[in-house]
Amino acid sequence: MPQTAPTKGKAAASVQAAGKKTPKTIKDLSGRQKAAIFLISLGSELSAEIFKHLREDEIETLTFEIARTDNVEPELKEAVLMEFQELMMASEFITTGGIDYARELLEKSLGSQKAIDIINRLTSSLQVRPFDFIRRTDPENLLNFIQNEHPQTIALILAYLEPNKASYILTKLNKDIQGDVARRIALMDRTSPEVLREVERVLEKKLSTLTNEDYTLAGGVDAIVEILNLADRTTEKGILEALEDENPELAEEIKKKMFLFEDIVMLDNKSIAKVLREVDQQDLTKALKGVDPEVADKILQNMSKRAQQNLKEDMEYMGPVRIKDVEEAQQKIVAIIRHLEDTGEIIIARGEDDQLVQ
């Protein structure tokens, strides 16, 4: 006798069950699943308040996870809430007295292994950086706080700040030390935890938090370039002139990175037209090899149709070009752009407070 086929409802249920594995313990849960269970436990009103502080993609991810989460065992819910409480407690201990202090208190209350697990989970997600207490300070107040410090101390602090804050402070510093501070940032490589601790101790009167005993990378040429790109032209020029007197090679390296070829998209059409009149056709052909389509389009739209056609034909005829030759051609064009800016023939908008009015 043939077997009876399962009904449609039973088949759907069996497929759903096969494709969805129910976690048995908290160790089986992913971070998103834990977050979903936590929000479900809080209720809709509190969860809605939390959602207000999340990005749109995070909200979508959590909403999806909540929608596919049902029948959470009370023991699992309790475990998630307990883990959250432990992490918050550890975070408070770290803020109060640092990693070692937090570990000591957690060991006394939860045991050695549990304390280590919590600290490891927390530090891997928090990534607490040196001078965190300073980054929350208003730039104007911070300027008053550090402007009389040694240039090396100022450089160390600015290297850990967001570029826009660092640029503001560098612009406001005494002109006599601006170049020195910029040079120290550019030459900075790795700073030992001991030095960071000492500087933080002096500035905040207590040991700040360090989550990592490894040497911390900050500063360098890229850091000072990013800061100077946000500074006004007068400050930038003064600092570069000071660097040229003291360390010409470093000044040249910084200037090469100050305005990248790809930044040409920030120029208005009239400025690009002026630049193109100064550029050698062969250099332009090489410079556009392999660039982002947005950059190429920005340049091509400021050329006549005949010039566009000639340029495209030259690029095809030229064939493969060494990356080194492309970069050299791009650098020549960047040098022309900087020269035109220095002579006032074009203007480059720098930062949010330097928008242009046509």
pLDDT digit string, tens, across residues 146-168: 888 889 888 888 887 888 888 88
- Domain containing 162 equals 132-255
CA 135 vs. chain centroid, Å, equals 14
Query: Is 80 within a domain?
Result: yes
Contacts of 262 (CB under 8 A, 6+ apart): 291, 292, 295
Cα separation of 10 and 15, whole Å?
Answer: 9
For residue 346, count other CB atoms closer than 10 A to its CB: 20
Q: Are 94 and 124 in contact (CB under 8 A)?
A: no
Task: Report the C-alpha gap between 230 and 233 in whole angstroms.
Answer: 9
Q: Are 261 and 269 in contact (CB under 8 A)?
A: no
Nearest CA to 84 among 25, 39, 21, 28? 39
Does residue 355 lie within any of the structural domains? Answer: no
Answer yes or no: do 233 and 284 share one domain.
no
Q: Give the CA angle between residues 262, 263, 266 to the nearest 5°.
A: 135
Same domain? 97 vs 70: yes
Looking at the fold, whether 201 and 270 belong to one and the same domain comes out as no
Looking at the fold, whether 229 and 329 belong to one and the same domain comes out as: no
Helix/strand/coil for 93:
helix
Classified as helix, coil or strand, 216 is strand
Long-range contacts of 146-155 (CB under 8 A, 24+ apart): 146/203, 147/172, 147/173, 147/174, 151/177, 151/180, 151/181, 151/184, 152/184, 153/199, 154/181, 155/181, 155/182, 155/184, 155/185, 155/188, 155/219
Q: What are the tokens at 273?
A: 């037209």
CB atoms within 10 A of CB 315: 16
Interacting residues of 132 by C-beta distance below 8 A, sequence separation 6+: 208, 209
Regarding whether 77 and 42 lie in a shared domain, the answer is yes
Note the pLDDT of residue 82. Answer: 82
* Token pair 């759907």 in the structure block, residue: 12
**Is the same domain home to 266 and 328?**
yes
CATH of the domain at 166: 1.10.220.30
Which of 192, 221, 255 is the endpoint of a domain?
Answer: 255
Q: Does a structural domain hold residue 190?
A: yes
Cβ proximity of 337 and 264 under 8 Å: yes
Q: Are residues 247 and 330 in the same domain?
A: no
Domain ends where: 108, 126, 144? Answer: 126
Q: How far apart are CA 59 and CA 63, in angstroms?
A: 6
**For the chain, how many helices (H) and strands (E)?**
21, 2
Q: Which of 116, 119, 41, 25 is nearest to 79 (CA)?
A: 25
CA trace torsion 82, 83, 85, 91 (10° rounding): 160
Does residue 7 lie within any of the structural domains? no
Within-domain flag for 5: no
Q: Count the residues in the chain.
A: 358
- pLDDT under 50: residue ranges of the chain: 1-22, 126-127, 206-215, 351-353, 357
pLDDT for residue 347: 79
176 with 288, same domain: the answer is no
A 10 A CB-CB count for 213 gives 9
The Cα 331–Cα 352 span in angstroms is 26
Coil, helix or strand at residue 254: helix
Last residue of a domain, one of 96, 126, 156: 126
Total of domains in the chain = 3
**137 and 104, same structural domain?**
no
Residue 13 in any domain: the answer is: no
Q: Say whether both 104 and 150 belong to one domain.
A: no
The encoded tokens of residue 114 equal 């549990």
* 3-state SS assignment for residue 292: coil
Contact of 130 with 200, CB cutoff 8 Å: yes
* Predicted pLDDT of residue 163: 84
N- to C-terminal Cα distance for the chain? 86
